[in-house]
Structure formats: structure tokens, C-alpha cells
A and B are shown apart, each in its own frame.
Chain A
Amino acid sequence: MYDPASAIKGKQAVFEAHPENASVKALTDLATDAKYDRAELTITVARESIVAAAMAVQQAGYNFLEDVTAVDWYPSEPRFQITYHILSHSLKERIRLAVRLDGDAAALDSITSVWPSANFYEREVFDLFGVHFGGHPNLRRIMMPEDWNGHPLRKDYPVEGYR
């Protein structure tokens, strides 16, 4: 069974435990927090530095963006966690980048300039969570109808919808 004590938390502890990891080396300056839990590495970066962080891990060999999604931690703040899963075909490992956003400032820069495949994923997050991606070439709803009210995957949106 899972032992919560096995998780390593905090930037310094994780970076000391995994000094050889390519993403750890690349993000030494940009990371604000880190977690190594269940053999998965999560590195948190600040909202302003997401594009720089994406470029840094791409340089470090993480060549494939798997997905961009979000978690709504309503009502706690910072409310949104934007999650990026990035895979390296050569290193055969995956890292998770996370950005935390406040509910009243749910906006960050788009990484479509680094990976064009982020296009649909960011549109999906915009549609279902209402997070704005600056610099996105085509930020419109993708799943829901254009005239839909609200963002269904937010936690304050009822499961059965508005009636």
C-alpha cells in the first residue's frame, strides 16, 4: 500500500534527491516548488516563466508535449492548477510541470510557440475551465457550443448543469 512518507516534497529536497535528472538540471532557476511522489516528478513554476520553462525542458530533451489540463481547487486559493505532461522519447521519462493561478487572475501565456500541439489542449482548458491563454492563435471554445454559459469543469458548476 502507498506510504505517504515516501513522497519527497519541497524544491530543495527533490533537487538534492534527483540531481542527475535532466529536467531538474534545466529548471534549477525557474522552479518554485517540486514534488517527487509515486515515482513521478512534478515541478511547479511561476506563471510568468511557463514559456521559458517549456523551452528549457525542451532543450533538455523532453521533446514531446503530451497534454495540458487543469485542476480546479475551488474554493481554496490559488484556485487553478495548470498541468503540463511532457515526455522525452530519448530519455523515456515524463515530467509534470504545474502552474498555480489565482481565481481572479486565471490567465497565463500560451506555449503554442514551443509546441504547436498545445493548441487544442489550451482551447480545451479555456473552454472547460475558463483559463485564458495569452498569445494563443485561436482561443475559442472547442467542446461546448460557442454560446454556452459558464465553464463546465469548474467545481462551482453543478454536475447536472444549470436548469
Chain B
Amino acid sequence: MTPPVEEITGPTAIDPGVDDVFANSARNRQNTPPQDQTMVINMGPQHPSTHGVLRLVVEIDGETVVSLAPDIGYLHTGIEKTCEAKFYQQVVPLTDRIDYLCPMTNNLAYCLAVEKLLGLEIPERAIYLRVLFNELTRIQSHLVWLGTHAMDIGALTVFLYCFREREELLRIFEAVAGQRMMTSYVRVGGLSLEPPRDIYEKIRTFLKGFPAHVDEYEGLLQTNPIWMNRLKGVGYLSPEDAIALGVTGPPLRASGVDFDVRRDMPYSGYEKFQFNVPASKVGDVWARYIVRMQEFRESVKICLQALDGLPEGNIVADAPKIILPNREQMKTQMESLIHHFKIVTEGFAVPAGEVCSSVEAPHGMMNYYVVSDGTAKPYRVHMRNPGFATLQALETMCKGRLLADVVAVIGSIDIVLGEIDR
């Protein structure tokens, strides 16, 4: 099969040279020719500070950044297209792979959207466990951020410390979901498995020791003159620019816009939890660092509340035509066997409509827009991922600063290329 000829439109006519990547950069907006003293360099896609395969085309004048253009798409896997060919329940494992540092948050955002389409009521126990594991995922994702951010700037020790604690969390995830990273733990209608009984004690032990570890990271970084000089006053983003450029999450709150989806538009039972939303008015890389460090402690608070308030009961909704029966029922009851067979072979039909579910992911606001046409496969799944928009603010934050500051700024916006390229 060959593509229809008339499909070839606009973009093919443009020569993809390096200069072309600048079409939207500051230089081209002002229609000024490149000046003799500037130089164009490529950062990435295989640069250690770009956290994956981000390519930046940077125009520098000596050491100063004149303009900067991100070039993305190196990790584009067409997940949105793949979703359209799968049953609703088969999309969950795909969502893990979008933002692979917070798989449970992705699972949750997708499942909330499908549950909204279906009008499903989720049992209280599942809601509490979802919140618990979401906050643990946030800690886990922030640990990777802190470790890599510090490593980019030259503090290698912090990376080793962060990954020590992350390992504990991944072991907890493995015990709960059977997988360390691609958990697929949150399912449409509830959760995939009841956590093992001894896991709560392990989580409590981790949470008890974790604030001391945060103190330890702060002890290594917060009074370190190199760390302070590299972060303070670097990469300023004003609240107006942050809103205009679509920035969300910790970078938005660090710029003085106090908005957190968990508190302001609660989902999945967050209205039952008491926590503060750290914010700052300073708007530089340091403020983003402080905001995330405080989020560590707030997440611990939420986790403890979820553990204390965890009710007994079911972990899945009462909807036999949507949720797979457990193994025991499937092998002993004819009705359950029929449901199991039908869900696996035909999926479940979802009433037509369109919904948008929004969650506060570790990197910012994550929305899932799911359109149903009444069949068992989603008609369209679109993810609004925080990193994709935040990347647009990179030039504003880096312009006029030193090239070395670009590394600090990329670390501070905490990008994951899996979610940007999808």
C-alpha cells in the first residue's frame, strides 16, 4: 500500500536545515540576519544533560545564549494512534510508557477519564490506595529529578543517595504491582491487585525514614556555595510568561502562580487530604528546587494520611461487565467465566461522549482527553503532557544567560522525553 499522492502537503517543501529550526527563534522573529560573531551549536539529542533525546539548537555569542530552539520528536512512537486500535483496558499498559517516571499517575489519569465516560463509582479503599501510590510515585519521580539535576551541575553524590531511596520505592512497587517501573497497577474500575498485607509496614518504615533523607540531600546541597551560585537568579520566568507559555506544575508554582490540581480541582478523593501547596514568587531555578524539595515532605504527609485512613473493602467497583472477575470466581462460576471471556475477547462498550480528566503529575498538569463513539475501543485518546508545553518556555528562561545555565534550566523543568514525544 502506498500513501495517496495528494497527502504530501506543506512541510515537505521546506528544506530541514539547521537554520530552519530557527524559524521561530528570537532571531527570526525580528528578521535580523545571523551576526558574524554568533555561532550555532547542537546540544543533543545525545547530550547527557538533555535527559533523553532532546535536541536543542543554540545560537551563542561567546558564552551567551542568543536564541534557542528545541527540536523534538526523536522518541515519537505514535502511542495516541496505537490507543485507537486497542480495547479500553488494553490502553492502560501503553500509558505507563508515556511518562515512565510516573506510570501510576498516567494510569490514574487515563482510568479517571474512562470511569467518567462510564459513570463508574470507585470504592473508597481503591481511592485511598490510588492516592497513596500516586504520592509515592511523585516522591520517586522527584528523586530522579533531584539526582539527575544535581548530577548535571556536578554534584554526583546526591545522585547515588537519591537512587538508594528510589530503589526502596521500586521494591515496594514490585511487591504491589509485580513490576518495578511499568506498573499498570491502576485499572479501569479500581486496581489490579490487593497489595500484600505486609506492604503497609514497609511503606510506613520508608515514610518514617524519608524526611531524614530529605534533610540529608538538603545538607549536601542547600548550603553548598557552588550549588547556590549555579541556581540562584538563573532561568527567571515571570508569572505572565509562565501562563502565556503553558507552564504547569512546580515551575508554575515557583513563578508565583499558586495552582495545584490536587487542591483546586480535586480528583480521586484528594479533597479528603490535608496538605500544603508549596509555592514561591522568585521564579528562578532555585525556587523550583525549593518547591520540589517541599513537595517531598507534603507527599509524605499525604501518604501517611492515606495509610491511617485506609478503609476496608473492595479494590474494584461492582461492575462485572467491565472488571475482570478474580481467578477463583472465574474457575468456579459460569457467569464469571462468561464475563471474563467477553471482556477479554470483545472488551466493554463505553457510552459515546468526550471527557477530559486532569491530574497533577510530578512534572505538572496531565490531562487525558478521551473520545468514545460507543464501541469497545477509544475513538481518540489525547494526552496533554506537562513537559511538551514547558519546553516552549525554555528560550525565555535561557536567553541572555550563559550556555552552562541552559543545563541548570533543563534540569529545573524536569522533562521526560517519553511524555513530550509520545
Q: Which A-chain residue is minimally distant from B266 (CB atoms)? A: A92
Residues of B338-382 at the interface with A, using a CB-CB cut-off of 8 Å, are 351, 353-356, 358, 365, 367, 369, 371, 379-380, 382
- A67 contacts which chain B residues (CB < 8 A)? 367, 369, 382, 384, 389
B356 and A40 form a contact (CB under 8 A): yes
Contact bitstring A28-71, B, C-beta under 8 A = 1, else 0 = 00000000011010100000000000000000000111110101
Q: Which of B11, B257, B356 is A141 in contact with, Cβ under 8 Å? A: B11
Within the complex, what minimum Cβ distance (angstroms) separates B408 from chain A? 23
The listed residue (A1, A83, A92, A162) touching B118 by CB distance below 8 A is A1
How far is B118's CA from A66's CA once the two chains are assembled, in angstroms?
Answer: 24
Q: A71-B380, A153-B80 known; A147 and B72 CB under 8 Å?
A: no
A2-B119, A159-B82 known; A150 vs B29 contact (CB < 8 Å): no
| Least distance between B167 CB and chain A CB atoms (Å) | 34
Determine whether B7 belongs to the interface, using a CB cutoff of 8 Å to chain A. Answer: yes
Tell me which of A137, A140, A141, A158 contacts B1 (CB under 8 A). Answer: A158
Which single member of A85, A117, A151 contacts B356 (CB below 8 Å)?
Answer: A85
Residues of B1-15 whose CB lies within 8 A of A: 1-4, 7-12, 14
Knowing A130-B9, A143-B76 touch, does A117 contact B246 (C-beta < 8 A)?
yes
Q: Mark B384-422, 1 if CB is under 8 A from A, else 0.
A: 100011011000000000000000000000000000011
Closest beta carbon of chain A to B25's beta carbon, Å = 9
| Residue numbers in B under 8 Å from A1 (CB-CB) | 118-120, 319
A78 at the interface (CB under 8 A from B): no
- Contacts A85-B369, A85-B384 known; A159 to B81 CB distance under 8 Å? yes
Closest to B367 in A: A66
7 contacts between A and B (CB under 8 A): A92-B265, A93-B265, A117-B244, A126-B10, A138-B23, A147-B16, A162-B2
Q: Is the CB of A146 within 8 A of B355?
A: no
Supposing A117-B392, A137-B24 touch, asked if A162 and B1 sit within 8 A by C-beta, the answer is yes
Interface size on A, residues (CB 8 A): 57
User: Is there an interface contact between B382 and A146, defined as CB atoms closer than 8 Å?
Assistant: no
Q: B residues within 8 A CB of A157?
A: 81
- Report the separation of the CA atoms of residues A142 and B384 in the bound assembly, to the nearest whole angstrom: 15
Judged by a CB distance under 8 angstroms, whether B73 is at the interface is yes
- Number of B interface residues at 8 Å Cβ cutoff, please give it: 59
**How many Å lie between the Cα of A53 and that of B242 in the bound state?**
22
Residues of B within 8 A of A158 (CB): 1
A4 vs chain B, min Cβ distance (A)? 6
A-B residue pairs, 3 tightest by C-beta: A117-B246, A2-B119, A138-B24
User: Which A residues between 86 and 109 are near B, CB-CB below 8 angstroms?
Assistant: 89, 92-94, 96
Across the interface, do B367 and A85 meet the contact criterion of CB distance under 8 Å?
yes
Q: Is the CB of A149 within 8 A of B3?
A: yes
- Interchain CA distance A141-B355 in the complex, whole Å: 27
| Chain B residues whose CB sits within 8 angstroms of the CB of A42 once the complex forms | 354
Contact B29 A137 (CB under 8 A): yes
Within 8 A of B (CB), among A111-149: 115-117, 119-121, 126-128, 130, 132, 137-149
Known: A85-B367, A157-B81. 20 other contacts (CB 8 A): A2-B119, A37-B354, A40-B356, A64-B243, A66-B384, A71-B371, A72-B380, A89-B243, A89-B259, A96-B354, A115-B244, A120-B388, A132-B10, A142-B73, A149-B7, A149-B12, A152-B81, A153-B81, A162-B2, A162-B3
